[in-house]
Amino acid sequence: MRTALVQMTSTDQPPENLAAALRFIEAAVALGAQIVLTPEVTNCVSLSRRHQNTVLTVEDDDQTLAGLRDAAVRHGIWILIGSLALKSQDPDARFANRSFLIGPDGKIIARYDKIHMFDVVLSDTESYRESDGFRPGDTAVVADTPIGRFGMTVCYDLRFPALHRSLAQAGAHVLTVPSAFAVPTGKAHWEVLLRARAIETGCFVLAPAQTGRHVGSDGRFRETWGHSLAIDPWGRVIADAGTETGITMVDLDLTEVAKTRGRMPSLRHDREFLAP
Protein backbone atom coordinates (compact mmCIF):
# COMPACT_ATOMS: atom_id res chain seq x y z
CA MET A 1 0.00 0.00 0.00
CA ARG A 2 1.33 3.42 -0.97
CA THR A 3 1.44 5.40 2.23
CA ALA A 4 2.29 9.05 2.84
CA LEU A 5 3.47 10.56 6.10
CA VAL A 6 2.78 14.28 6.40
CA GLN A 7 5.34 16.23 8.40
CA MET A 8 4.26 19.77 9.21
CA THR A 9 4.80 22.73 11.53
CA SER A 10 1.29 23.45 12.72
CA THR A 11 0.66 26.96 14.04
CA ASP A 12 -2.06 28.06 16.43
CA GLN A 13 -4.32 29.03 13.49
CA PRO A 14 -6.47 26.04 12.45
CA PRO A 15 -7.46 27.37 8.99
CA GLU A 16 -3.78 27.80 8.10
CA ASN A 17 -3.02 24.25 9.23
CA LEU A 18 -5.94 22.79 7.29
CA ALA A 19 -4.72 24.54 4.14
CA ALA A 20 -1.22 23.16 4.68
CA ALA A 21 -2.51 19.63 5.33
CA LEU A 22 -4.66 19.76 2.18
CA ARG A 23 -1.66 20.85 0.07
CA PHE A 24 0.40 17.94 1.41
CA ILE A 25 -2.46 15.51 0.79
CA GLU A 26 -2.76 16.66 -2.81
CA ALA A 27 0.95 16.19 -3.38
CA ALA A 28 0.77 12.73 -1.81
CA VAL A 29 -2.18 11.72 -3.99
CA ALA A 30 -0.26 12.87 -7.08
CA LEU A 31 2.42 10.37 -6.03
CA GLY A 32 -0.14 7.59 -5.69
CA ALA A 33 -0.86 7.63 -1.96
CA GLN A 34 -3.77 5.42 -0.89
CA ILE A 35 -3.48 6.43 2.74
CA VAL A 36 -2.16 9.67 4.19
CA LEU A 37 -1.26 10.15 7.86
CA THR A 38 -0.95 13.52 9.59
CA PRO A 39 0.72 14.34 12.93
CA GLU A 40 -0.62 14.92 16.43
CA VAL A 41 -2.60 18.15 16.85
CA THR A 42 -2.69 18.75 13.10
CA ASN A 43 -5.21 21.55 13.67
CA CYS A 44 -3.45 23.59 16.35
CA VAL A 45 -0.18 23.72 18.27
CA SER A 46 -0.54 26.31 21.01
CA LEU A 47 0.87 27.01 24.45
CA SER A 48 -2.11 29.11 25.46
CA ARG A 49 -5.26 27.57 26.85
CA ARG A 50 -7.02 30.91 26.38
CA HIS A 51 -6.11 31.00 22.70
CA GLN A 52 -7.17 27.37 22.29
CA ASN A 53 -10.51 28.24 23.86
CA THR A 54 -11.08 30.88 21.20
CA VAL A 55 -10.10 28.80 18.14
CA LEU A 56 -11.03 25.20 19.01
CA THR A 57 -14.51 23.72 18.62
CA VAL A 58 -16.37 20.55 19.45
CA GLU A 59 -15.96 17.66 17.02
CA ASP A 60 -19.23 18.32 15.19
CA ASP A 61 -18.22 21.90 14.36
CA ASP A 62 -14.56 21.26 13.61
CA GLN A 63 -13.55 22.60 10.20
CA THR A 64 -10.30 20.64 10.04
CA LEU A 65 -12.20 17.40 10.48
CA ALA A 66 -14.77 18.47 7.87
CA GLY A 67 -12.08 19.58 5.41
CA LEU A 68 -10.07 16.38 5.75
CA ARG A 69 -13.18 14.21 5.40
CA ASP A 70 -13.97 16.08 2.16
CA ALA A 71 -10.43 15.47 0.97
CA ALA A 72 -10.76 11.74 1.66
CA VAL A 73 -13.88 11.62 -0.54
CA ARG A 74 -12.44 13.86 -3.27
CA HIS A 75 -9.32 11.73 -3.62
CA GLY A 76 -10.81 8.37 -2.64
CA ILE A 77 -8.17 7.80 0.02
CA TRP A 78 -7.87 6.79 3.66
CA ILE A 79 -6.73 9.50 6.06
CA LEU A 80 -5.39 8.97 9.55
CA ILE A 81 -5.73 12.36 11.22
CA GLY A 82 -2.97 12.06 13.82
CA SER A 83 -5.03 14.09 16.19
CA LEU A 84 -7.19 17.16 16.56
CA ALA A 85 -7.44 19.27 19.68
CA LEU A 86 -11.19 19.55 20.28
CA LYS A 87 -13.51 20.91 22.90
CA SER A 88 -15.05 18.00 24.79
CA GLN A 89 -17.68 17.14 27.37
CA ASP A 90 -15.09 17.15 30.14
CA PRO A 91 -16.44 18.57 33.44
CA ASP A 92 -13.17 20.52 33.84
CA ALA A 93 -13.59 21.96 30.32
CA ARG A 94 -10.44 20.25 29.11
CA PHE A 95 -9.90 19.45 25.44
CA ALA A 96 -9.72 16.03 23.83
CA ASN A 97 -6.57 14.99 21.95
CA ARG A 98 -8.40 12.80 19.43
CA SER A 99 -7.11 10.74 16.50
CA PHE A 100 -9.43 9.83 13.60
CA LEU A 101 -9.37 7.19 10.89
CA ILE A 102 -11.35 8.42 7.88
CA GLY A 103 -12.46 6.11 5.06
CA PRO A 104 -12.50 6.97 1.32
CA ASP A 105 -16.22 7.71 1.59
CA GLY A 106 -15.46 10.36 4.22
CA LYS A 107 -16.92 8.31 7.06
CA ILE A 108 -15.26 8.32 10.47
CA ILE A 109 -14.20 4.69 10.82
CA ALA A 110 -12.62 5.11 14.25
CA ARG A 111 -11.73 7.73 16.83
CA TYR A 112 -9.24 7.40 19.66
CA ASP A 113 -8.58 9.77 22.57
CA LYS A 114 -4.92 9.84 23.68
CA ILE A 115 -4.65 7.88 26.91
CA HIS A 116 -1.30 8.88 28.40
CA MET A 117 -0.79 12.56 29.22
CA PHE A 118 2.63 14.19 28.85
CA ASP A 119 3.10 15.67 32.35
CA VAL A 120 6.86 15.91 32.37
CA VAL A 121 9.55 18.39 33.44
CA LEU A 122 12.32 18.09 30.84
CA SER A 123 14.55 20.94 32.05
CA ASP A 124 14.44 24.29 33.86
CA THR A 125 13.04 25.85 30.70
CA GLU A 126 10.92 23.08 29.18
CA SER A 127 8.05 21.36 30.92
CA TYR A 128 4.61 20.11 29.95
CA ARG A 129 1.40 19.50 31.86
CA GLU A 130 -0.78 18.08 29.15
CA SER A 131 -3.39 16.84 31.62
CA ASP A 132 -4.11 20.45 32.65
CA GLY A 133 -5.43 21.13 29.15
CA PHE A 134 -6.52 17.72 27.92
CA ARG A 135 -8.79 15.01 29.26
CA PRO A 136 -7.19 11.59 28.77
CA GLY A 137 -9.07 8.79 27.06
CA ASP A 138 -9.46 5.35 28.62
CA THR A 139 -10.13 3.02 25.70
CA ALA A 140 -7.72 1.39 23.24
CA VAL A 141 -8.92 1.27 19.62
CA VAL A 142 -8.25 -0.93 16.61
CA ALA A 143 -9.90 -0.34 13.24
CA ASP A 144 -10.03 -2.34 10.02
CA THR A 145 -9.00 -1.11 6.61
CA PRO A 146 -8.86 -3.19 3.41
CA ILE A 147 -5.14 -3.57 3.92
CA GLY A 148 -5.10 -4.51 7.55
CA ARG A 149 -6.01 -3.68 11.09
CA PHE A 150 -4.75 -0.42 12.57
CA GLY A 151 -3.98 0.13 16.25
CA MET A 152 -4.22 3.80 17.15
CA THR A 153 -1.98 5.63 19.61
CA VAL A 154 -0.77 9.21 20.03
CA CYS A 155 2.73 10.50 20.90
CA TYR A 156 3.51 9.96 24.61
CA ASP A 157 1.49 6.70 24.45
CA LEU A 158 4.66 5.43 22.72
CA ARG A 159 6.31 5.00 26.12
CA PHE A 160 3.71 2.49 27.32
CA PRO A 161 4.49 -0.86 25.70
CA ALA A 162 1.48 -2.60 27.28
CA LEU A 163 -0.87 -0.49 25.15
CA HIS A 164 0.93 -1.50 21.96
CA ARG A 165 1.02 -5.14 22.98
CA SER A 166 -2.70 -5.03 23.67
CA LEU A 167 -3.34 -3.50 20.22
CA ALA A 168 -1.18 -6.16 18.54
CA GLN A 169 -2.90 -8.94 20.49
CA ALA A 170 -6.20 -7.48 19.31
CA GLY A 171 -4.96 -8.17 15.78
CA ALA A 172 -3.34 -4.89 14.74
CA HIS A 173 -0.91 -5.09 11.79
CA VAL A 174 -0.06 -1.40 11.78
CA LEU A 175 0.46 0.84 14.82
CA THR A 176 0.02 4.58 14.28
CA VAL A 177 2.00 6.96 16.48
CA PRO A 178 1.27 10.51 15.32
CA SER A 179 3.39 12.85 17.39
CA ALA A 180 4.61 16.27 18.44
CA PHE A 181 7.73 15.02 20.21
CA ALA A 182 9.91 17.31 22.25
CA VAL A 183 13.44 17.88 20.90
CA PRO A 184 15.59 16.53 23.78
CA THR A 185 13.52 13.36 24.13
CA GLY A 186 13.21 13.06 20.37
CA LYS A 187 16.97 13.00 20.04
CA ALA A 188 17.39 10.46 22.83
CA HIS A 189 14.35 8.19 22.59
CA TRP A 190 12.11 8.61 19.51
CA GLU A 191 13.64 6.19 17.03
CA VAL A 192 14.60 3.51 19.53
CA LEU A 193 11.15 3.48 21.12
CA LEU A 194 9.40 3.26 17.75
CA ARG A 195 11.70 0.44 16.63
CA ALA A 196 11.17 -1.37 19.92
CA ARG A 197 7.37 -1.19 19.57
CA ALA A 198 7.66 -2.63 16.03
CA ILE A 199 10.03 -5.42 17.10
CA GLU A 200 7.97 -6.35 20.17
CA THR A 201 4.71 -6.55 18.25
CA GLY A 202 5.66 -7.54 14.70
CA CYS A 203 3.66 -4.56 13.50
CA PHE A 204 4.49 -1.82 11.04
CA VAL A 205 4.83 1.45 12.95
CA LEU A 206 3.83 4.68 11.21
CA ALA A 207 4.77 7.87 13.02
CA PRO A 208 3.93 11.16 11.26
CA ALA A 209 5.33 14.06 13.26
CA GLN A 210 5.26 17.76 13.88
CA THR A 211 8.58 19.47 13.19
CA GLY A 212 10.40 22.73 13.84
CA ARG A 213 9.47 25.89 15.66
CA HIS A 214 5.79 26.52 16.38
CA VAL A 215 5.44 30.23 17.11
CA GLY A 216 2.18 31.24 18.77
CA SER A 217 0.31 34.49 18.16
CA ASP A 218 1.63 35.69 21.54
CA GLY A 219 5.22 35.14 20.35
CA ARG A 220 5.86 32.20 22.67
CA PHE A 221 7.11 29.12 20.84
CA ARG A 222 7.72 25.43 21.21
CA GLU A 223 9.95 23.14 19.17
CA THR A 224 9.33 19.62 17.93
CA TRP A 225 11.67 16.91 16.73
CA GLY A 226 10.30 15.97 13.29
CA HIS A 227 11.77 12.73 11.89
CA SER A 228 8.48 11.16 10.89
CA LEU A 229 9.37 7.50 10.64
CA ALA A 230 8.02 4.32 9.12
CA ILE A 231 9.32 1.09 10.68
CA ASP A 232 8.82 -2.42 9.34
CA PRO A 233 7.87 -5.36 11.60
CA TRP A 234 11.50 -6.48 11.86
CA GLY A 235 12.38 -3.05 13.29
CA ARG A 236 14.06 -1.54 10.23
CA VAL A 237 13.55 2.16 9.54
CA ILE A 238 12.06 2.21 6.04
CA ALA A 239 11.48 5.98 5.85
CA ASP A 240 12.77 9.00 7.76
CA ALA A 241 11.46 12.46 6.94
CA GLY A 242 14.35 14.39 8.49
CA THR A 243 13.41 17.78 9.90
CA GLU A 244 11.89 19.61 6.90
CA THR A 245 8.15 19.83 6.37
CA GLY A 246 6.75 17.74 3.52
CA ILE A 247 5.53 14.30 2.60
CA THR A 248 7.41 11.02 2.81
CA MET A 249 6.17 8.14 0.68
CA VAL A 250 6.60 4.54 1.67
CA ASP A 251 5.22 1.28 0.24
CA LEU A 252 3.99 -1.19 2.84
CA ASP A 253 3.77 -4.90 2.14
CA LEU A 254 1.45 -6.14 4.86
CA THR A 255 2.36 -9.78 4.19
CA GLU A 256 5.58 -8.96 6.05
CA VAL A 257 3.63 -8.91 9.30
CA ALA A 258 2.82 -12.62 9.19
CA LYS A 259 6.26 -13.48 7.80
CA THR A 260 8.02 -11.60 10.55
CA ARG A 261 5.85 -13.10 13.28
CA GLY A 262 6.63 -16.51 11.82
CA ARG A 263 10.36 -15.84 12.26
CA MET A 264 9.94 -14.28 15.70
CA PRO A 265 6.73 -15.44 17.40
CA SER A 266 7.27 -13.61 20.72
CA LEU A 267 3.86 -11.94 20.50
CA ARG A 268 2.37 -15.39 21.20
CA HIS A 269 4.71 -16.23 24.07
CA ASP A 270 3.35 -14.16 26.93
CA ARG A 271 3.16 -16.08 30.17
CA GLU A 272 1.25 -15.49 33.35
CA PHE A 273 3.56 -14.73 36.24
CA LEU A 274 3.32 -13.66 39.84
CA ALA A 275 4.15 -10.02 40.45
CA PRO A 276 7.49 -9.58 42.22
Ligand X SMILES: O=C(O)CNC(=O)[C@H](CS)NC(=O)CCC(=O)C(=O)O
Contact residues for ligand X (CB under 6 A)? Answer: 40-41, 45, 97, 118, 128, 130, 155-156, 159, 180-182, 185
Phi, psi (degrees; rounded to nearest 5) at 29: -65, -40
- What does the alpha-carbon distance between residue 221 and residue 65 come to, in Å, rounded to a whole number? 25
Q: Choose between 192 and 258: whose C-beta lies nearer to ligand X.
A: 192
Q: Is 126 part of the annotated catalytic residue set?
A: no
> CA 53 → CA 25, 105, 112, 134, 154, distances in Å?
28, 31, 21, 12, 22
Count of Cβ atoms closer than 10 Å to residue 14 Cβ: 22
Burial of 92 (0-12, 13-18, 19+ CB in 10 A): exposed
Phi, psi (degrees; rounded to nearest 5) at 210: -75, 150
CB distance 123 to 111 below 8 Å: no
Q: Which of 44, 155, 203, 223 is catalytic?
A: 155
Q: How far is the CB of 207 from ligand X (least distance, A)?
A: 12
Q: Choose between 104 and 212: whose C-beta lies nearer to ligand X.
A: 212
Q: Which of 44, 114, 203, 223 is catalytic?
A: 114
Q: Choose between 160 and 234: whose C-beta lies nearer to ligand X.
A: 160
Q: Choose between 213 and 259: whose C-beta lies nearer to ligand X.
A: 213
Q: How far is the CB of 147 from ligand X (least distance, A)?
A: 27
Q: How far is the CB of 228 from ligand X (least distance, A)?
A: 14
Q: Is 40 part of the annotated catalytic residue set?
A: yes
- What does the alpha-carbon distance between residue 246 and residue 227 come to, in Å, rounded to a whole number? 11
Q: Which of 40, 44, 130, 223 is catalytic?
A: 40
Q: How far is the CB of 41 from ligand X (least distance, A)?
A: 4
Q: Choose between 123 and 269: whose C-beta lies nearer to ligand X.
A: 123
Give all strands (DSSP E) within 170-228, no chain letters: 174-176, 204-207, 211-215, 221-225
Q: How far is the CB of 180 from ligand X (least distance, A)?
A: 3
Q: Residue with CB nearest ligand X? A: 185
* Separation of CA 271 from chain center: 30
CA proximity to 185, closest of 215, 223, 218, 150: 223
Q: Is 203 part of the annotated catalytic residue set?
A: no
Where in the sequence numbering do the catalytic residues fall? Answer: 40, 114, 155
